Structure 1
Amino acid sequence: MAGAGGPLSRSGLRGRETELAELRAVIGSVARTGSGALVLVRGEAGIGKTTLVTEAVAGAAAEGFSVGLGKADELHHLVPLSSLATCMLHGDRPLLSGDALVDLARRHDQRIRLVERLAEVIEERAGGTPVLLALDDVQWADPLSRFALKQLPRRLRTSPVLWLLSERRGTDGPAARIVAAALDELPVHTLSLGPLSGAAIGRLAGDVLGGCVDARVRGLLEGAGGNPFLAVEMLAGLRSAEGSGEPVPKGLVVGVRGRLNSLHPDTLRFLQRGAVLGRGFAFQDAAALCGRPPVELIPALEEAVRAGLLDDDGDQLVFRHDLLRQAVYVDVPPSARKALHREAAARLVAGGHRPIDVVSHVLRGARPGDEEAVALLRRAADDVLPVTPGLAADLVTRALELVPAARPSWFAAGEHAIVCLTRAGRGREALSTGDRLLACRPPVEVSGRLHAALGGALWNLVLADELRRRTEAALAVGGAAPEVGARLAALRALAMSRAHDLGPARAAGEEALRAAVAIGDREARVQALFALGETALNAGENTLARERFSALCAVDPAYVPEEIVAHQHVDDFETGERLLSKAAEAGGMREAMLLWAQGRQHLELGRLDDAEADFVTMERLEDAVQAHVQQVNGRVIRSRIALLRGDREAAREHLAEARGRLAAKPNPGNTAAVRFLEAVHAEADGDVRLAVDRIRRVQEEGPFLRWRLLRTWVGSAVRMALRGADRELAEDLAAQAEAHAERNPSVPTATGLAVRARGLVLDDPALLERSVALLRRSPRPLVRAAARADLGRALLAAGRRPEAVAALTRARAAFAASGAHAVAARLQRELRGAGAGSQRAASGRPVQGWEALTASEKKVARLVAEGHSNRTAAEVLVVSPHTVNTHLTSAFRKLSVNSRVQLANLVRALPGD
Structure 2
Amino acid sequence: MSVLTRALANTECGEGRVVLVNSGPGVGRTTLLNEFLRQAADSGARVGAATGSSAETGMELGVAAQLFPSDGPLAAGLRLARAIGGGDGGGDGVLPPDADRLFEELCGEFRHGPVVLAVDDVQLADAASLRVLLYLVRRLRTAPVLIVLTEPTGPDAMSPAFQAELLRHPRCRRLRLQPLSPDGVTRMIAPYVDAADTARVAAEFHAVSGGNPLLLRGLVVDHRAARRADRQGQGATVQPVGSAAFAHAALAWAYRDKPVLFDVACGFAVLGRNATPALVACLVDRGADAVARVMTALDTAGLLDGTAFRSALVSKALLEHVDVEVRAGLHRRAAWLLHGDGVPAVDVAHHLLAAPVAEPWAGRTLIAAAEQAVRDGQEEFSLDCLRLAGQYATTEEDRAAVVMARVRIGWEIDPRLVSPWLDELGTALERGHVDSADAAWIVKHLAWQDRFPEAAQSLSVLAGRAGDEPGAQAELHLVRQWLRHTCPALDPDADPAASTAQATAPQPRRLSPASYAVEMLGRVLAEGPGDHAVAMAEEILRGCRFGETAVEALEAALLVLVYAEHPERALFWCEALLREAGDRPTGTQVAILSGIRAEAALRQGALQAAEQYAGRALEAISLHGWGVAIGSPLAALVRAATASGRTWEAGAWLNQDVPEGVFRTRHGLLYMHARGHYHLAVDRPAAALEDFLTCGALAKEWGMDMPAFLPWRTSAAQAHLALGNGGQARTLVREQLARPGGSTPRSRGVSLRLLAATSEIACRPALLRESVNLLESCGDRLELLRSLADLSDVQHRTGAPAKARMTARHARTVADTCGGDALFRRLFKEEASEGDDEPVPLAGDHHGSASLTAAERRVTALAALGHSNREIGRKLFITKSTVEQHLTRVYRKLGVRNRADLGDLLAGTNLAAQAQAMGRASSVAAG
The TM-score bracket by the shorter chain reads: 0.5 to 0.7
The 3 A distance-change label for structure 1 pair 462 and 531 is farther
Partner of 1:554: 539
SS at match of 1:522: coil
The answer to whether structure 1 residue 362 and structure 2 residue 352 are counterparts is: yes
TM-score using structure 1 length = 0.53
Gaps of 5+ in 1: 9-50, 72-85, 93-135, 137-163, 169-188, 196-226, 237-251, 846-850, 852-913
1:616 aligns with 2:612: yes
- TM-aligned CA deviation for residue 374 of structure 1: 1.9
Q: Which residue does the alignment assign to 2:204? A: 69
1:392-423 residue CA offsets vs partner (Å, 9 max, x unmatched): 75266236414434355544444444433333
Contact 1:305 / 1:312 at 8 angstroms: preserved in 2? yes
Following superposition of structure 1 onto structure 2, how do residues 358-397 of structure 1 map, counting pairs within 5 Å? 358-368=348-358, 370-388=359-377, 390=379, 393-394=382-383, 397=386
Distance 1:733 1:6 in 2: 96
What are the Cα deviations for residues 111-156 of structure 1, in whole angstroms up to 9, with x where unaligned? Answer: xxxxxxxxxxxxxxxxxxxxxxxxx9xxxxxxxxxxxxxxxxxxxx
- Give the Cα–Cα distance (whole angstroms) in 2 for the partners of residues 652 and 345 of structure 1: 59
Where do 1:138-157 residues align within 5 Å?
A: none
- Residue in 2 aligned with 1:580? 572
Change (3 A) 1:669 1:298: closer
Name the residue aligned to 2:287: 293
1:112 aligns with none
User: TM-score, normalised on structure 2?
Assistant: 0.52
Give the drift of 1:479. 5.4
Equivalent position to 2:335, from 345, 349, 364: 345
Is residue 748–residue 777 contact of structure 1 (8 Å, CA) maintained in 2?
Answer: yes
Shift of 1:451: 0.6
CA contact (8 A) 2:594 2:613 kept: yes
CA contact (8 A) 1:640 1:677 kept: yes
Per-residue CA deviation, residues 354-406 of structure 1 (Å, 9 max, x unaligned), is: 332232211232245x2121232233234434332735752662364144343
**Residues 1:552 and 1:665: Cα distance change in structure 2 (over 3 Å):** same
1:64 and 1:267 map into 2 onto residues whose CA distance is 33
1:532 corresponds to which residue?
A: 519
Label 1:323 to 1:434 Cα distance change in 2 as closer, same or farther (>3 A).
Answer: closer
SS in 1 for 2:414: coil
User: Paired residue for 2:107?
Assistant: none
| 839 and 491 in structure 1: CA distance in 2 versus 1, 3 angstrom threshold | same
Residue 424 of structure 1: aligned partner: 413
- Indicate the larger mover: 409-418 or 691-700: 691-700
Distance 1:765 1:61 in 2: 73
Q: What are the superposed Cα offsets for residues 176-216 of structure 1, whole Å, 9 maximum, x if unpaired?
A: xxxxxxxxxxxxx9961699xxxxxxxxxxxxxxxxxxxxx
CA shift for structure 1 position 604 = 4.4
Q: Structure 1 residues 592, 461: CA separation in 2 closer, same or farther (over 3 Å shift)? A: closer
Tell me the SS of whatever aligns to 2:479: helix
Give the letter for the 2:786 counterpart. A
- Mapped to 2, the partners of 1:702 and 1:229 lie a distance apart of 67
Q: 1:285-334 deviations in whole A, cap 9, x for unaligned? A: 4432222323246899999999x9x96788446898678535533x343x
Larger Cα Rg: Structure 1 or Structure 2? 2
Q: Which runs of 5+ in 2 are unaligned?
A: 1-24, 33-184, 213-218, 228-232, 545-552, 582-588, 832-857, 859-864, 880-884, 886-927
Cα–Cα, structure 1 residues 484 and 615, in superposed 2: closer, same or farther, change >3 Å?
farther
Alignment of 1:638-677 (within 5 A): 640-641=639-640, 644=643, 648=646, 652-653=648-649, 656=652, 660=656, 668-677=665-674
Pairwise CA RMSD = 6.2
**Separation in structure 2 between the aligned mates of residue 554 and residue 280 of structure 1, nearest angstrom:** 39
Counterpart in 2 of 1:490? 478
Query: In the alignment, what sits opposite 1:883?
Result: none
Determine if contact 1:341/1:362 at 8 Å carries over to the other structure. Answer: yes
User: In the alignment, residue 506 of structure 1 is paired with which amino acid?
Assistant: P
Separation in 1, partners of 2:224, 2:450 = 41
Q: How many residues of Structure 1 are paired with residues of Structure 2 in the alignment?
A: 623
Report the AA paired with residue 290 of structure 1. V
**2:74 counterpart residue number:** none
3-state SS of paired residue (1:543)? coil
Please give the residue correspondences for 1:75-94 in structure 2 after superposition, counting only pairs within 5 Å.
Answer: none
Q: 1:478 to 1:90 in 2, by over 3 A?
A: farther
Structure-2 change in CA distance of 1:664 and 1:64 (3 Å): farther
- The residue number in structure 2 matching 1:192 is 236
CA pair 343-659 structure 1, distance change in 2 beyond 3 A: farther
For residues 310-325 of structure 1, the aligned pairs below 5 Å read 315-316=307-308, 325=318
Residue 512 (structure 2) pairs with residue 513 (structure 1): no
| Alpha-carbon distance in structure 2 between the residues aligned to 1:678 and 1:633 | 12
- Residue identity over aligned pairs, in percent, reads 16
Equivalent-residue separation in structure 1 for 2:294 and 2:742 (angstroms): 85
Higher relative contact order (CA 8 A, sep 6+): 1
Distance 1:475 1:504, change over 3 A: closer
Question: Is residue 542 of structure 1 aligned with residue 532 of structure 2?
Answer: no
Number of the residue aligned with 1:743: 740
Change (3 A) 1:463 1:571: same
Shift, 1:535, TM fit: 3.2
Residue 728 of structure 2 is matched in structure 1 by 731
AA in 2 matched with 1:521: R
Deviation, structure 1 residue 491? 0.5
Q: In structure 1, what residue type is equivalent to 2:722?
A: R
**Distance in 1 between residues matched to 2:760 and 2:408, nearest whole Å:** 57
Is 1:439 aligned with 2:439? no
Aligned 8 A contact 1:789 1:807 in 2: no
> 2:877 & 2:731 partners in 1: Cα distance?
34
What is the CA–CA distance in structure 1 between the aligned matches of 2:313 and 2:381, rounded to whole Å? 32
Q: 1:684 to 1:657 in 2, by over 3 A?
A: closer
Partner residue, 2:786:
786
Matched, 1:840 2:874: yes
Contact kept in structure 2, 1:738 and 1:755, CA below 8 Å: no
Instruction: Find the aligned partners of 2:732 and 2:366 in 1 and give their Cα distance.
Output: 58
Task: Quote how far apart the aligned CAs of 1:697 are.
Answer: 6.2
AA aligned opposite 1:543: P
Equivalent pair of 1:643/1:822 in contact (CA under 8 Å): no
In structure 2, what is the equivalent of residue 718 of structure 1? 717
1:812-827 maps to which residues of 2 (within 5 A)? 813-819=810-816, 820-827=820-827
**Can you list the C-alpha shifts for 1:743-775, whole angstroms capped at 9, x where unaligned?**
225424434544544554x56446645642542
Deviations 1:464-514 (A, max 9, x none): 675454223312244554333202222023213343699955335335536
Residue of 302, 321, 324 corresponding to 1:328: 321
**Residue 464 of structure 2: SS of its match in structure 1?**
helix
Alignment partners' CA distance in 2, 1:302 and 1:783: 72
Contact 2:367–2:389, Cα closer than 8 Å, also in 1: no
Measured at CA, do residues 58 and 628 of structure 1 come closer, stay the same or move farther in structure 2, by a change above 3 Å? farther
Output one character per residue of 1:674-700: Cα deviation in whole Å (capped at 9) or x when no partner: 555455455545565665566566567
| Structure 1 pair 266–774 and aligned structure 2 pair: CA distance change class (3 A) | closer
Distance 2:803 2:297 in 1: 95
> Hey, what's the Cα distance between the residues in 2 that align with 1:305 and 1:564?
52
Which secondary structure does the structure 1 equivalent of 2:204 belong to? strand
Partner of 1:398: 387
The one-letter code of the counterpart of 1:735 is L
Change (3 A) 1:683 1:166: farther
Cα distance, 1:530 vs structure 2? 3.5
354-363 or 61-70: bigger deviation: 61-70
Question: Does the aligned pair in 2 maintain the 1:812–1:823 contact within 8 Å?
Answer: no
Give the conservation status (yes or no) of the 8 Å contact 1:434–1:454.
Answer: yes
Does the CA-based 8 Å contact 1:359-1:376 persist in structure 2? Answer: yes
Cross-structure match for 2:768: 772
CA distance in 2: counterparts of 1:388 and 1:794, whole angstroms:
56
Taking structure 1 as reference, are residues 350 and 2 closer, same or farther at Cα in structure 2, changes over 3 Å only?
A: same
Classify 1:595/1:508 alpha carbon distance in 2 versus 1 (closer, same or farther; 3 Å). same
